[in-house]
Structure formats: C-alpha cells, structure tokens
Chains A and B, each alone.
Chain A
Amino acid sequence: MGLFEKLQQGLERSREAINEIFYFGGEVDESFWEDLEDTLVMGDMGADIAMQVTDDLRDLAARKNLKTAAQLRGALADRLAEIFVAPERDPFSATPSCVLFVGINGAGKTTTVGKIASAAHAAGKRVVIGSADTFRAAAIEQLDVWGERAGVPVVKRDRGSDPASVCYDVLDEADRTSADLVLIDTAGRLHTSPELMRELAKVVNVTRKRASKMRAGAMDVYVVLVIDAATGQNGLTQASEFNDALGLDGIIMTKLDGTAKGGIALAVAQRLQLPIYRVGVGEHVEDLQTFDARDFCRALVGEE
C-alpha cells in the first residue's frame, strides 16, 4: 500500500467533513467559505492559516472562475501543498549521516528510531543506534528490542549516565565500523524546561564536534523533531523552542493513523520553513513513509 492510500485511509474522517462541505448544489455561496474555514480549523492547522488559505482560495476562485467542487478541491490541495518545504537532502537515504531525534515526551521518538533503523538496514545500510535516553525507565531496553529486531547494534550506557557521552561512544563505534547511518534517540522533554533544553543543546554540540572528526571525513548531523500528529496549537511553540535551542533540520510526524489530521504540520512548516522527512501512518515498519506534500494534501481534501 502506497503512502497515498495509507493516508487516504487514515484521513478518512477528516475527508468526510470536507466532503460534506463540497456537496453544494449550484453556486458557491458565503456559507461554503465559512464551512471551509471551520473545517480547516478543525484540522489543527490553526485559525491564522485557515483564514489565509480560505481568503486566497476565494480570490483564486473569483479570478479563475472556479465553480465546481472538483475545481475547488484541486485548488485547495494545491494551495495547501504550497505551504510545505521540500527537503534538500534526505538524511536517511543520502548517507553517511548522523541523525538526532528530539521531541517532547511520548511523541514516538524511540519507536521512530527503531522503525528507521529496520528500514535502513533492510535497504543495505550499515546502521548504528545510540540510546541517549538515559533518563526514562526502560528506554534503553525498549531500543534494545528494536535493535535486535532490526539486526542493528545499539550503543548504550547505564540509565542515568551523561547522554552526551553516549553520543560520543556511538560515533566512536560508527567510526570504527565505518557505518553509514547513525541514529541517536534522546530523552523526551518539554520545551518549557530550560535546564533540559540546555542539556540537549550540549548533546547536539558534542555530537556535531565528534561527527566532524570522523576518519572518513566529516559526517553531517541532522536534528529532527518528532511530533505527534494529534498535537494542537502547542506544536508550534514546541517546534519554535526546539528550533531556537538546537537549530532543527526537519520534522517527522508520527501517529497520523488515528483520526488526527496533522494540520499542525502545515503550521510548523509555514512558520519555521522546515521540511518533513517522514510520516508515520501505522504501527508497522513500512508504515513510516517518505512525506509527499502533494499526496498528503490530496488525501486531506479528498481529491481522487
């Protein structure tokens, strides 16, 4: 099943809402625009973007004389897709690279690391996992299980040890085995805790420094924010804070298989101009897919 079908399935509920407003008889009237705006707000993209998109679409419809539901739907998908930024380079396929996964508690960082490791290993990459979540109970064991399933070595230290030292170790290991892809899981933290954010900044710094001194030449370091698709407007604050503290390179959105619409991705993409590397649309390894803005938006507005 391709991403588009998966997304279509996942976004079914939100499409229903959109379908409802596209069933209009005859002319497009004022209530259509109001309903459209409301529906977009319900998708968590935030009232600002919803209004902006609706206004733009209204202009466009007047200018190009768009009248049918199909025309408007296509225009809406295009308008939404415009908001997303395309990644310059995908760190998981264009290796060697080292990726740090950051985010708030329960966003799905550890699971994402596990899934990406499995996929990359299956694609023939030499992968190493670093478990720098030395805070949460059993985070290391959880990652161990993933490493075992994927057949990927996991570099770890005891719970409570310095996470930056784990990053150093994992890069040492990667250097020794000349690995292509280094995936580092970090402890979840709320962006409102300055101490934990500083700790994470140190982790990133240490990783960057060590990665610049690899035997095979400097390895690119990516800092990726993992964000739950059901997150509301706070997602924007989260992303800005993490970006300010660490300088993010991109986003991975998880748990898009519920009924959440993941509209927060639009808000974050617009505000911070960050690309989305992957979206998680299910529990399985292959459900973590490359993000395609056009597909995502088509699925969101229910274009066939």
Chain B
Amino acid sequence: MFNSLSDRLNDTFDRLRGKGKLTEADITSAMRDIRMALLEADVNFKVVKDFVAKTRERCMTAEVLESLTPAQNVVKIVLDELVELLGSTESKLVLSSRIPNVIMLVGLQGSGKTTAAVKLAYLLKKQGRSPLLAACDVYRPAAADQLATLGGEIGVPVFRGDGEHPVEIAQGAIREAVDKLRDVVIVDTAGRLQIDEQMMQEAVDIKRAVKPDQVLMVVDAMTGQDIVNVVSTFAERTDFDGVIISKLDGDARGGGALSVRAVTGKPIKFVSMGEKPESLEVFSPDRMAKRILGMGDVVGIIEKAQEAATAEQMESAERMLREGLTMDDMLEQMRAVRKMGGMKGILGMLPGGQRALNQMGGNLDETILDKNEAMIQSMTREERLNPKCINGQRRARIARGSGTTPTDVNNLMKQWGEMNKMMGKMRAMTQQMQGGKKGKKGKKGKKMRVPGMAGMPNMGNLMGGGGNPFGGMGAGGSDMDMLRAMEQQMKGRKF
C-alpha cells in the first residue's frame, strides 16, 4: 500500500537520470515525494510544510546536486533532519529524590493509559523500585478492576478508592505509598477529550493536588492529523513532561510522534509495543525516523526472530549445522516464518520488500506453507530424519496421504535438497571460522545460530520451489544492497 520514501525517490531520480546535473526543479519534485511520504505517515500537515521547506534548503547544496547518487543523499538529509527533530533533547525518565515520586498519565480515551501505567510499573519494579498504581479512572466501567487485575499479574499493589473523587483517590494513593513504603506512585487517569472542559479541569486539579514529578501523555501511534490539536491543548493545560507512544507494534508509521515533537517540543520517552508488561521500550529517534519514512525495520526483524526463537530452537539450529537438515527442521522453520507474520509480514519489514510484494501483485501464496506442512506430517519418522530415503513409491504415498500431488512432493524434496546444500556451505564456513580465528568464534558463531536468521536466506527456496514465480526477490535484494551501501556511505562521510 505504501511506497517507502527511498523507493519513491529512486523512481523520481531514475526519471532524471542522464540529465547530468540536477536542477532546482528536480529537487522540487523530490520534495513533493517527501511531502507525500510524510503525509501518508500521518505527520501533521503544517509540520510537513515546515519540514519540507527546511529540508529543501539543505538539499540545494552542491553536495546533493552534483552527487552521483542524489536520491541517497536526499534520503540521508531527510533522515538526519527527522532524527534531529525527533530526539535532540534528553528522553530519559527523570525521577527526583522525593519519596514517593509521582508519575501521572494523561491521554485520550483508548490511547492505552492503563496498559502503559502497568508497563511503567513493571519497568520501575525491575529497576528495583517499589511502585504503587493509583486507579483514578472512575468513569469507564470496571477500569479500576482492569488495573487491579493487571497490577496483580506483575505483583504491584493497586490503590483504588471506589466511589471517591479522582483527586481524593490520587491523594489517598500518596498517603498509602508513604504508609506502605512505596517509592513511586503511578497515577492512571481517565481518558478525556481535549475539548471537554470539565474533564480537562479535573486533570489539572489532580495535577495540582499531587504535584507529579512527571506528567506523561500517552499517544496512540495510529492517530491522524488531529493529534496536533489534542497535544497542544493537553500541553497547555497539563503541561506534560514527556510522551509515551503506544500501539507501535502495529504497522502505523507513527508520524504523529513527529507532530507531537514539532508542536509541543516535549520529548518522547517511551514506546509501547505489545500486550506484555515488558514491552515498553526507551524511545529511539533513529528507528522512529526510519519507520516514519518506511525504510524498513531491520532491527525489528532481528528482534522478532529472536523473540520467536526459543532455547530449544537454538539447540536444534546447532544440530542442523552439525548433522544436516531434516524434514522436522524444515517444518520448524516454516512454523517460525509463520510466527513472524508469514512471508508477507517479513517481506513487508524489509527495505524495498513492500515494492517486491507489489511487483508480485501484492499477494504471496502462503498456502504453500500449509501444503508443505501437510506433506511433512504425512512422512514417517524415518523419512523425516533421513529424507534421502524417500523414493518414488514413498513420494506417491506421501502425496496420497497429504492430499497433494507427487509433483508437490518433488518440489518439497527439491527445496530440502537446496536448503541442505546451503546448510553444508554454512557448516563449512563456520568450521573455517572456528579453525582460523579461535578468538572470534563465540561472537560470529552465535550469530549464525539464530534459527530465524539461518532460515532467512532459504526463504526464497521455500517459496520458489512451490512453482511461485519469484522474480520480485531480486528487487528486494538489490534494495538491501542499496541500503547497505548507503549505510556505509553514511559512516564514511562526515557532514
């Protein structure tokens, strides 16, 4: 659906190739691409305007105009500007020496305050503090129950003053914290609309009553253009100190984060990306900028692979390297791919992957995974462990058993053959490495053993073998190269 900025800019500059020097008009057309990319990412309109004007100036230098790779230079400038805008100030959570410290969370309905409160409590608990959660949402039915349940799950006490006024609950929570020797109080407030005067006043009252050390605003990563109105009112009334961006585990670009920064100047402190209490991360401007531009989240892929990999899988990956690939391993890998969101999900995260997907018509035949799984499950134990023994007769039986055709089985066998060969090559490589430089063994060897990653180069085979015309992977691959080249360029040059 979305074209990443680098794809777009490449297209634009492809058209201009052969013109020799770029002109001002060419830069203008590139700026239009940047504008569209940012708008698609939900960056607020006015923010986009300012940003583009500023970036345009920087792009009008000889460095860009005369460069052989203007697209990459422009992308780099845009990225730099974004990173700077997103995170030039301190984004750590600053707690004072006061006991108890008070953190107050505010935000719209459904932005994820309660979840964020629990995640924050969990984080503080892990840092050796003893938090207390205060349930000040007295409006939404069962909001206090939700907080109590979640608090119970992470072992953090919850103060709930059922039936009382939110201000009193907040004050009561602080007294409770003093009595029970808790050193941080996290005040979870009700969701409120910025135009609801009465509710905004309530937030101000709570703030005045408990004098929080930090007021954090929770902002949904999926919010659109209106975010500017929301945060400016909240900033004006509650004068919050920082922002938590929630629901970043979705595929929203999160351009709102940029708008928030640009409009209020408040730092983004955390990003929240999942249902589990530990999924609250410190904000990284670099990753956010790349995400806004749709540049592919390579770090995200690695993290996802690691998340999906269990200790057992790590072991089996090692065994695979030692003894060759069995059908069970293949099954495992296919399941791992599926866990990570299927081919589509993984490809979509790769730089240029979205383009490769679109070239294939936006649709990947994921049923091949089902078929392969059925075939492997129709094999005997012996066949799975030693696929070489699968002869014509056995193939016919497997096809019958799994409701596929012998051709399908042949394809599967071919894939296995190729993957096994690849595994052999990797084995040779690791052995070389282990033999050659003993000192480095630990580090490099470990990298190779992440099973999800070991499976990555083979995915083309997994799919290609199923009669899937996989011409698009080439484009994806070249974009990967481009990114690498770009990163090297960035490292090499000093602007």
Binding site for B on A (CB under 8 A): 13, 38, 41-44, 46-47, 104-108, 111, 114, 135-139, 141-146, 159, 190-195, 228, 230-238, 240, 255, 257-261, 263-264
Which of the residues B45, B224, B229, B341 comes within 8 Å of A233, measured between beta carbons?
A: B224
12 A–B pairs (Cβ distance < 8 Å), ordered by A: A41-B39, A46-B39, A105-B110, A105-B247, A138-B148, A142-B142, A142-B143, A143-B141, A192-B250, A194-B342, A232-B225, A258-B194
A230 to B36, CA, bound (A): 20
Residue of A nearest to B221 (CB): A234
| Contact between B222 and A104, CB atoms less than 8 A apart | yes
B220 interfacial contact with A, CB 8 Å = yes
| Contact between B252 and A258, CB atoms less than 8 A apart | no
| Contact between B223 and A258, CB atoms less than 8 A apart | no
Nearest-Cβ distance from residue B367 to partner chain A, whole angstroms: 14
B345 interfacial contact with A, CB 8 Å = yes
A193 to B274, CA, bound (A): 10
| Contact between A106 and B110, CB atoms less than 8 A apart | yes
| Contact between A237 and B251, CB atoms less than 8 A apart | yes
Which of the residues B42, B109, B143, B150 comes within 8 Å of A108, measured between beta carbons?
A: B109
Which of the residues B141, B146, B223, B226 comes within 8 Å of A136, measured between beta carbons?
A: B146
Instruction: Encode contact with A along B128-160: 1 for CB under 8 Å, 0 otherwise.
Output: 000000000000111111111110010000000
Which of the residues B149, B229, B339, B342 comes within 8 Å of A138, measured between beta carbons?
A: B149
Contact A138-B142, Cβ < 8 Å, known A47-B40, A237-B251, A259-B195: yes
| Contact between B249 and A259, CB atoms less than 8 A apart | no
Which of the residues B39, B110, B227 comes within 8 Å of A47, measured between beta carbons?
A: B39
**Chain B residues bordering chain A, tally (CB within 8 A):** 53
| Interface hits, B222-251 → A, CB 8 Å | 222-227, 229-230, 247, 249-251
Binding site for A on B (CB under 8 A): 1, 36, 39-42, 44-45, 108-112, 115, 140-150, 153, 193-195, 220-227, 229-230, 247, 249-253, 255-256, 275, 338-339, 341-342, 345
A238 to B150, CA, bound (A): 27
A-B contact count (CB 8 A): 158
Which of the residues B42, B142, B194 comes within 8 Å of A234, measured between beta carbons?
A: B42
B42 cross-chain contacts in A, Cβ below 8 A:
44, 232-234
Contact A192-B341, Cβ < 8 Å, known A41-B45, A44-B224: yes
| Contact between A235 and B222, CB atoms less than 8 A apart | yes
A142 cross-chain contacts in B, Cβ below 8 A:
140-143, 145-146
| Contact between A38 and B195, CB atoms less than 8 A apart | no
**Residue among A13, A106, A114, A264 with the highest chain B CB neighbour number at 10 A:** A106
| Contact between B112 and A138, CB atoms less than 8 A apart | no
A259 cross-chain contacts in B, Cβ below 8 A:
194-195, 226, 229-230
- New A-B pairs, 5, CB < 8 Å, besides A105-B115, A135-B275, A194-B345: A106-B220, A138-B142, A190-B247, A191-B251, A261-B226
Nearest-Cβ distance from residue A110 to partner chain B, whole angstroms: 8
B148 cross-chain contacts in A, Cβ below 8 A:
138
A228 to B219, CA, bound (A): 13
Nearest-Cβ distance from residue B378 to partner chain A, whole angstroms: 23
B39 cross-chain contacts in A, Cβ below 8 A:
41, 46-47, 233
| Contact between B250 and A258, CB atoms less than 8 A apart | no
Nearest-Cβ distance from residue B274 to partner chain A, whole angstroms: 9
| Contact between B36 and A47, CB atoms less than 8 A apart | yes
A46 cross-chain contacts in B, Cβ below 8 A:
39-40
A110 to B143, CA, bound (A): 12
Q: Which 7 pairs show the lowest CB-CB distances between chains A and B?
A: A232-B224, A106-B110, A232-B42, A145-B141, A138-B146, A137-B149, A141-B142
A141 to B150, CA, bound (A): 14
A164 to B273, CA, bound (A): 26
A46 to B112, CA, bound (A): 25
B220 cross-chain contacts in A, Cβ below 8 A:
106, 228, 230
Residue of A nearest to B220 (CB): A106
A232 to B220, CA, bound (A): 10
| Contact between B224 and A264, CB atoms less than 8 A apart | yes
Contact A258-B249, Cβ < 8 Å, known A106-B111, A233-B42, A235-B222: no
A267 to B310, CA, bound (A): 41
| Contact between A233 and B40, CB atoms less than 8 A apart | yes
| Contact between A190 and B250, CB atoms less than 8 A apart | yes
Nearest-Cβ distance from residue A60 to partner chain B, whole angstroms: 24
Residue of B nearest to A14 (CB): B226
Which of the residues B1, B147, B255, B275 comes within 8 Å of A237, measured between beta carbons?
A: B1
A119 to B469, CA, bound (A): 53
| Contact between A13 and B229, CB atoms less than 8 A apart | yes
Residue of B nearest to A228 (CB): B110
Contact A260-B250, Cβ < 8 Å, known A42-B45, A255-B109: no
Residue of A nearest to B1 (CB): A237
B247 cross-chain contacts in A, Cβ below 8 A:
104-106, 190
| Contact between B222 and A231, CB atoms less than 8 A apart | yes
Residue of B nearest to A142 (CB): B142
A231 cross-chain contacts in B, Cβ below 8 A:
222-224
Which of the residues A106, A114, A145, A146 comes within 8 Å of B109, measured between beta carbons?
A: A106
| Contact between B225 and A108, CB atoms less than 8 A apart | no
Residue of A nearest to B48 (CB): A41
A257 cross-chain contacts in B, Cβ below 8 A:
193, 195
A265 to B286, CA, bound (A): 32
B153 cross-chain contacts in A, Cβ below 8 A:
137
A237 to B255, CA, bound (A): 15
B338 cross-chain contacts in A, Cβ below 8 A:
194
A228 to B146, CA, bound (A): 21
A44 cross-chain contacts in B, Cβ below 8 A:
42, 224-226
Residue of A nearest to B340 (CB): A194
A42 to B338, CA, bound (A): 37
A295 to B227, CA, bound (A): 25
| Contact between A234 and B108, CB atoms less than 8 A apart | no
| Contact between A144 and B142, CB atoms less than 8 A apart | yes
Residue of B nearest to A236 (CB): B1
A141 cross-chain contacts in B, Cβ below 8 A:
141-142, 145-146
A192 cross-chain contacts in B, Cβ below 8 A:
249-251, 341, 345
| Contact between A137 and B146, CB atoms less than 8 A apart | yes
Residue of B nearest to A260 (CB): B226
Nearest-Cβ distance from residue A282 to partner chain B, whole angstroms: 10
